[in-house]
Amino acid sequence: MDALVLSHLRRIAHKLIPLLAAAGVAYSYEAAARDPDPMLGLPASVTRIQGAPPATAALGKRLFFDTRFSADAKVSCATCHQPDRAFSDGKPVATGTEGRAGTRNAPSLINAAFLTTLFWDGRRRTLEEQARDPFVNPNEHGLADEAQLLDVIARDPAYRQQFADAFAADDAVVDIDHVTRAIAAFVRTLVAGNSPFDRYYFGGDASALSASAINGLAIFRERGQCANCHRMEKDHALFTDHDFHTLAVGLDRISGRLAQIVKRAPVPGDGLDRAVLADVEVAELGRFLVTGKPSDIGKFRTPSLRNVALTAPYMHDGSIATLEQAVEREIYYRGLEANRPLVLTTQQKRDLVEFLRSLTSDALPN
Ligand code: HEC
Ligand code: HEC
């Protein structure tokens, strides 16, 4: 059965069981325990978030993987968001059309559906708005304009049919809003819970985590105070507070010349996406680019840690190669901020890493 349908059924199982029984369908909690909810640990809003018709998401998927929407006909969204890397790309910074390097690490798109702002600096609010940016960014798909993209669609009868099916109520002309709505619908299907951590913490399966990971979880929540930002709620955990903080990663790239670099920052608005991915120094300004507040210089959105073991290298600039080093960096910087070093033994650090590795979902969408 479709994973989403199944998940929804489980959420309302107590109401459904008598109905199913009446219809002669057996459903048992024991079977559910053996084959747990793929959405375990995600916010309950998951079923609402995924409301788009399957035809729309299927169209979005085709658009996502189509390399014709790029200057060299080689780049698609999936170039930088690869299904087998939890929709990240394994590189420090992403490279787009004609091998042009950007300035930022490509984040995983798994569970991006739950984010309240998008990009490391939060410069976009919805997946629809976000999906417009890469096509015309010279360091990504590199199209001259959106007309080029719409032209490919207009000349492809299969696309025309798919758009007609997905947006039945609209008129026959495909516009950029249809394109971004379809892509956003696809991205919203890229959700996954049910990691060993979820089965331990939300599913009550004491055997789902190793002793080391259980110890790591305690350090994460208590000594390390990691969950202050990488948040865990009572009934779900996204491991982000949707807010912006600094770890001073990459700050040495701009310190000393801040005044000049700030002058190069575009006024918030249309030029921002290009400037950020073209100018590595401007990119380091982080959240400041959106708010204009000096206190936001060098701040980046707290990344979710779900599936983090699959998405090396780390941080907004991809400058940290391994999970062990990322944890070291956090321990060091948290100590600096608290004015009191956070001292952990080698084993405790291993436990933290072991815990982070337990956040990998058993089954990832692709
Ligand atoms: C050349 C590589 C590249 C291509 C192509 C690309 N992306 Fe990205 N994507 C990135 C990078 C790098 C970021 C982070 C940029 C930033 O934060 O400034 C990103 C961020 C995102 C985010 C925000 C995720 C988050 O956690 O905030 C979404 C959603 C996304 N991309 C979807 C897409 C879609 C849809 C397409 C195709 C239309 C696409 N990307 C094409 C590299 C790429
Ligand atoms: C004050 C908020 C805050 C606290 C506390 C915090 N983090 Fe983070 N964490 C962040 C932010 C922000 C980033 C991204 C920084 C950047 O890219 O420059 C990050 C990045 C990470 C990354 C890299 C993830 C990726 O996808 O690149 C890991 C791993 C991580 N933190 C683990 C931890 C651990 C373990 C602790 C506790 C010892 C912790 N964090 C405490 C805010 C926080």
pLDDT value at position 35? 66
pLDDT in tens, the chain (366 residues): 444 444 544 544 444 444 444 444 444 444 445 567 999 999 999 888 888 889 999 999 999 999 999 999 999 999 999 999 999 999 999 999 999 999 999 999 999 999 999 999 999 999 999 999 999 999 999 999 999 999 999 999 999 999 999 997 656 789 999 999 999 999 999 999 999 999 999 999 999 999 999 999 999 999 999 999 999 999 999 999 999 999 999 999 999 999 999 999 998 666 899 999 999 999 999 999 999 999 999 999 999 999 999 999 999 999 999 999 999 999 999 999 999 999 999 999 999 999 999 999 999 998
CA of 304, closest atom in ligand 1 = 26
Residue 67 lies in a domain: yes
pLDDT value at position 33? 53
Find the domain containing 258 and state its range: 251-297
Residue 76 lies in a domain: yes
Q: Is the pTM here over 0.85, yes or no?
A: yes
Does residue 280 sit in the same domain as residue 161? no
Residue 236 lies in a domain: no
CA of 140, closest atom in ligand 1 = 1
Tokens representing 141 are 């798909």
Residue 75 lies in a domain: yes
Tokens representing 342 are 């956070």
pLDDT value at position 168? 77
Does residue 172 sit in the same domain as residue 73? yes
Does residue 183 sit in the same domain as residue 255? no
Choosing from 85, 300, 330, 353 the residue with most ligand 2 atoms within 8 A of its CB, the one to mutate for a pocket test is 330
Does residue 181 sit in the same domain as residue 255? no
CA of 248, closest atom in ligand 2 = 18
Question: In the 8-state DSSP scheme, what is residue 266?
Answer: P
Does residue 133 sit in the same domain as residue 259? no
Residue 124 lies in a domain: yes
Residue 136 lies in a domain: yes
Which of 141, 156, 187 represents a domain boundary (last residue)?
Answer: 187
Tokens representing 366 are 């692709």
Q: Which residues line ligand 2 at a C-beta cut-off of 6 Å?
A: 224-226, 228-230, 245, 247, 249, 300, 302-303, 305, 308, 311, 314-316, 323, 326-327, 330-331, 334, 352, 356
Which of 165, 187, 209 represents a domain boundary (last residue)?
Answer: 187
Does residue 156 sit in the same domain as residue 71? yes
The total of structural domains in the chain comes to: 2
Residue 256 lies in a domain: yes
Nearest CA to ligand 1 atom 11: 106
In SS3 terms, 285-330 reads as CECHHHHCCHHHCCEEECCCCCCHHHCCCECCCCCECCHHHHHHHH
Which of 261, 278, 297 represents a domain boundary (last residue)?
Answer: 297
Answer yes or no: are the C-beta atoms of 280 and 214 closer than 8 Å.
Answer: no
pLDDT value at position 169? 60
Nearest CA to ligand 2 atom 16: 315
Ligand 2 centroid from CA 330, angstroms: 6
CB atoms within 10 A of CB 274: 16
Question: In the 8-state DSSP scheme, what is residue 191?
Answer: -
Looking at the CA of 353, name the nearest ligand. Answer: 2
Does residue 58 sit in the same domain as residue 175? yes
Does residue 182 sit in the same domain as residue 257? no
Please state, in angstroms and rounded to a whole number, the distance separating the CA atoms of residues 45 and 47.
6
Please state, in angstroms and rounded to a whole number, the distance separating the CA atoms of residues 109 and 83.
9
Answer yes or no: are the C-beta atoms of 191 and 37 closer than 8 Å.
Answer: no
Does residue 170 sit in the same domain as residue 270? no
Looking at the CA of 71, name the nearest ligand. Answer: 1
Please compute, for residue 90, the number of CA atoms within 13 A of its CA located in the half-sphere on the CB side.
Answer: 7
Does residue 60 sit in the same domain as residue 171? yes
Q: What are phi and psi of 286, to 5 degrees?
A: 60, -135
Does residue 81 sit in the same domain as residue 178? yes
CATH of the domain at 157: 1.10.760.10
Residue 320 lies in a domain: no
Ligand 2 centroid from CA 71, angstroms: 35
